[in-house]
Amino acid sequence: MSVLSKTSALAVIASTFVGSAVYANGDLNLYSSRHYDTDERLYSDFTDATGITINRIEGNADELIARMQAEGANSPVDVFLTVDTVRLARAKSLGLLQSIESDVIEASVPSYLQDDDNQWFGFSQRARILFYDKTDVTNPPKTYQDLANPEYEGKVCIRSSTNVYTQNITAALIAHLGKDAVQDWANGVVNNFARDPQGGDTDQLRGIASGECDIAMSNTYYYARALRKGDSTMTAEDLENIGWVFPNQNDIGAHMNISGGGVAANAPNRENAIKFLEYLASEQAQEYFSAGNDEYPAVPGVGLSPSVAALGIFRPDTIDLSDIAENIDAAVEVLNAAEWE
């Protein structure tokens, strides 16, 4: 079904799982905040391979979590799928997920992309890197810490403090560097804002193209997608003039955001849910994450699509995602103290 609007999501969700059919042996009930049309192939291939029908609800992650809470033990959902560590950690903390054992996932997905209690797993990745205007910036930042350097005052476009990607990178830096050091960093970045934080990742790239800022932070798949499909607001010349840096290649590596999922605490079709997560770790699904949505596979050794491979080889940050999840609250405190809007 189509992606739900924020205002109508709960109403539609409430009316969707009606009748006994959704509890049939051959079904899987999925709540997903992934909003990509290209994922249709993932779902249809799973059904073709297993005969399991997917009943899917797409909506805002926070609303889906709220729905799972309200449904409680009667919830029909089997798998919760979302696009960031923050929401996965929140679902776990609220008791909405359960631990599972899967030799398939353990053998395929690196341990640092798994929750310590096996309640959620990362299945695709996006590197969060730095972009810059090649026509104006002769000395681009080489690390995340460099964004706070005074030489970049008035040059940086970045997302708001309420955005999960901002919270994730801040939490990762706290895990690596400590809260005090990251507070100084956040204060410096705020001082270097070219404008108040606004918009999504593509809007940060458009800020470079328009000349509003010279440096921006974005997930790789937005730029890779623009290279592959074009962007109605940026010309080919605009894209050519945008350079990129994979930060911190001499130490912690480039920060990675994930899409991931877990089995719901009260899943009525638990075995089908595990089969679905195992399928997401398969080579077929992993290749499609890259080919269909310009992401990096979570499973090592899986080939990259040309648009992703064009960005080059880099060293990723392999910090345990559970360490990031544990520092989300501290990250929010740091961002608020810095008055990062």
- Angle (CA) 98-99-104 rounded to 5° is 125
DSSP state of 138: S
- Angle (CA) 51-56-57 rounded to 5° is 170
Tell me, what amino acid is at 324? I
Q: Tell whether residue 35 is among the known ligand binding residues.
A: yes
| Element at 166 (helix H, strand E) | helix 164-177
DSSP state of 234: B
Q: Tell whether residue 221 is among the known ligand binding residues.
A: yes
- CA-nearest of 157, 313, 321 to 220 is 313
Q: Tell whether residue 288 is among the known ligand binding residues.
A: no
| Element at 257 (helix H, strand E) | strand 255-263
Give the integer Cα–Cα distance in Å for 211 and 227: 19
N- to C-terminal Cα distance for the chain? 34
| Element at 81 (helix H, strand E) | strand 79-82
Annotated binding-site members: 35, 221-222
Question: What residues are designated binding site for Fe cation?
Answer: 35, 221-222
